[in-house]
Amino acid sequence: MAAAAARPSDAALRRIDCHLIAVIDLRTPEATRRRLSELDAEPVMVDDPDERGGYLLSRLREVRRLCSDNPVYRWPNQYGNPANPDVHARTTGPEISRQGGSSCNTAYIAVSTGGSLPADTWKHSTRIID
C-alpha cells in the first residue's frame, strides 16, 4: 500500500493485512516519524520541494510513481475520492462548529484536499486567505 503520511492504528493495519509505505517529506514531524517506525511502516522520503515551494505535490507524484511501478500497491487517494467533501461535511464541519461555538466567526483551515472548505461553508461564511 502506498499512502501519504497518515495515522493508522496497529489494529487497522493488522486487520487488513497491510504493509504501509509512508511517503513523507523533510517537514514531517519527528513524532510522526517515530509512530511510523513503531508501525513498521516503510518511509519514503521526498526532499525536493514542489513548484509551490511545499512538498504536497512532490509527495503525490511519488505516490503515483510508486503505484505505477508496483501494480499491487493500493492508494486510498483522499484527493481524488468524490466522497471526501461529504465526509468532511458530516464530520469536520460540525466538529468545528461545536468546538468554535456560536461566537466563532473565523476558522483557519489547512487546504490540503480542499474537503474541509465545502464542509465549513455550509455553516460559516468562509473567507479564504492565501
Q: What DSSP string describes 33-81? A: HHHHHHTT-EEEEE-S--TTSSSHHHHHHHHHHHHHH-TT-----TTT-
At 50 the pLDDT is 93
Q: What is the pLDDT along the chain (130 residues), one digit of tens a residue?
A: 444 444 456 676 677 777 889 999 999 999 999 988 888 889 999 999 999 999 999 999 999 999 999 999 988 888 888 887 788 778 877 887 888 887 877 766 665 555 555 544 544 444 444 3
